[in-house]
Structure 1
């Protein structure tokens, strides 16, 4: 079908129907595009390109002309401009499985849920390449989910002679794509009737098993024995990591919109080759919901969980995406739940990504000092860092190289080099972090979110709330855990 599109584009060029500006974009004549922009060409001109009535940016997205797209956005083109019938440039990138184009448009502010009900995620999962039976580009689906795409958006799609309601999950199941199905479940896709119907054929028994497992996790989490009549607790979405239902899983209040604020959330429980960081993924899911309740737009929240939290991904968002997007009036939140590790040679503290290896910290993990230095390069007015990890190497959410012993007497957790950065840490350098098994969360994260939910809106107010509670709970587990607050008393 991609070949057919190229033929149609070529036909429009030969017939002279395409507008001059759009024609240059389709042909990849980017010097001409640059010249036209410099001479005042209208970057919002609606004219014939690959189809009737499209903007230059839409034409660039359809034809995969990334250099032209960058020039157009730099010149003021609107990334969320809708072309009839409800299509955006991001829709086009998702339709053709163009990861680089989609990544650029999202970084430039494209709404991952724009063009509803036929959103980019639905297009990428259901009709990639503009054809119902084409395989899913999993990297595009993962990208959209990480940038806040709603996995439960429904849309009527015409197939087999009739319109039927579909979700991204039902399409992934129908195509038998295990990885895409797992990605959607991990990001909160609900196992609905459409998905179960697609799985109810013998050749899709594997897909049905995945859905049954997700439903079983939801039912176990919502066991009546764990609830009380006075204080009912909501069941987590299908696909959430298994565990008890906690009273902080769902925020109680929502705040005013904060369109300039951003958050990077990293939560890792099941590592590639390391012991579990218990409840790391659940922590990240709950934190995301609370940040959204604070008013941070979903498209401004990057959530890297499980296998998505690779070293390269973490580095890319810290070193490229955040500096490009964060504004001078922004408050930037960075949250990490997972393993930390100390360098036995010098005590320097590292955050361990999903594919990190304590034996090769310098090449596979992220130094805290570098984290703070990278955050200082952003334009944010306030930066809040919350770390539910420890760096002693003595257990909890901390690891050491194989064969090494936890004899690091002083852990260097780094000092933020910038007066805009506030750090809330779960424990002091030589301690281990703990969990609240009955809540299914890290102890620090539980009280961090509990405090946010109770209206603590400054770093010190939140710390004063969580500090004594974490200490007390740790002593009940016969150990010490002392949270730390470093930096200014920034507003939250």
Structure 2
């Protein structure tokens, strides 16, 4: 059984999307945790920062290809989540753009549909996604928001045997707080795993660790969003 992860952080964007400096720091912090033998114990952790759509899709597909049913495969994304006018979810890359009307130029981003298909085609029966991106909510001038819009996460990314942990729901924003090295969600996730200080993150850690040691047959019955 192998435990492998791909950590994607996108901090640099074209005009129209706010830069998110914490995104690349998020993946570095999580990489350290996952590679620690006493915390994550992952065999392979790859980091991808500020990719274009082609390289991001290549790495995601490579992550899930050639696995066995007993493998644990983790995908982490920190950056902007964007929906099109049909409420389809996309993950922004460093070249993602919107047209003058504010609509997404879809060829510049990675569709959740692609990731969903790749995961469905993988032989690995233990799959996990952690998304530190946003969907909707209120605005606070001391925080930088990561795009808005309601998205059906369960329909676009969920499946049997797959855990999806997100920093926000369809009615909340994910925030990057000014003056903090990491985004709020990743910061508390890392702190919770390291120290157990955050109750919510302890619960997330407990769920995730139980999933990491669960036999594939039982994973098929598990579905979390």
| TM bucket normalised to smaller | 0.7 to 0.9
- Alpha-carbon offset, residue 397 of structure 1: 4.5
Structure 1 residues 277 and 433, CA, compared in 2 at 3 Å: closer, same or farther? same
Q: Deviations over 1:138-164 (max 9, x none)?
A: xxxxxxxxxxxxxxxxxxxxxxxxxxx
Mapping for residues 280-359 of structure 1, pairs under 5 Å? 280-293=23-36, 294-297=40-43, 300-306=44-50, 309-319=51-61, 321-343=62-84, 345-359=85-99
TM, length-normalised to structure 2: 0.74
- Mind listing any 5+ residue stretches in structure 1 that lack a counterpart? 1-258, 400-405, 466-486
1:260 equivalent to 2:2? Answer: yes
TM, length-normalised to structure 1: 0.36
SS in 1 for 2:115: helix
Q: For 1:373, which of 117, 120, 127 is the aligned residue?
A: 117
User: When you count strand as a share of all residues, which structure comes out higher?
Assistant: 2
Query: Is the 8 Å Cα contact of residues 136 and 173 (structure 2) preserved in structure 1?
Result: yes
- Mind listing any 5+ residue stretches in structure 2 that lack a counterpart? 208-221
Q: For 1:419, which of 160, 163, 178 is the aligned residue?
A: 160
Question: Relative contact order, CA 8 A, sep 6+: which one is greater?
Answer: 2
Query: Is the 8 Å Cα contact of residues 342 and 392 (structure 1) preserved in structure 2?
Result: no
SS in 2 for 1:358: coil
Query: Is the 8 Å Cα contact of residues 193 and 205 (structure 2) preserved in structure 1?
Result: no
Q: For 2:190, which of 407, 428, 449 is the aligned residue?
A: 449
Tell me what 1:121 maps to.
none
Q: For 1:434, which of 161, 166, 175 is the aligned residue?
A: 175
Using the alignment, how far apart are the partners of 2:67 and 2:206 within structure 1?
Answer: 28
Using the alignment, how far apart are the partners of 2:68 and 2:192 within structure 1?
Answer: 27
- Alpha-carbon offset, residue 346 of structure 1: 1.8
Query: Is the 8 Å Cα contact of residues 322 and 378 (structure 1) preserved in structure 2?
Result: no
Using the alignment, how far apart are the partners of 1:438 and 1:417 within structure 2?
Answer: 34
- Alpha-carbon offset, residue 448 of structure 1: 1.3
Query: Is the 8 Å Cα contact of residues 342 and 348 (structure 1) preserved in structure 2?
Result: yes
Query: Is the 8 Å Cα contact of residues 193 and 202 (structure 2) preserved in structure 1?
Result: no
The root-mean-square deviation of aligned C-alpha atoms, in Å, is 2.9
SS in 1 for 2:223: coil
Using the alignment, how far apart are the partners of 2:170 and 2:66 within structure 1?
Answer: 32
Using the alignment, how far apart are the partners of 1:271 and 1:427 within structure 2?
Answer: 21
Query: Is the 8 Å Cα contact of residues 145 and 176 (structure 2) preserved in structure 1?
Result: no
Using the alignment, how far apart are the partners of 2:138 and 2:58 within structure 1?
Answer: 30
SS in 1 for 2:152: coil
Query: Is the 8 Å Cα contact of residues 135 and 174 (structure 2) preserved in structure 1?
Result: no
Structure 1 residues 393 and 369, CA, compared in 2 at 3 Å: closer, same or farther? farther
- Alpha-carbon offset, residue 272 of structure 1: 4.0
Pairs aligned (count): 194
SS in 2 for 1:441: coil
SS in 2 for 1:302: strand
Using the alignment, how far apart are the partners of 1:369 and 1:340 within structure 2?
Answer: 13
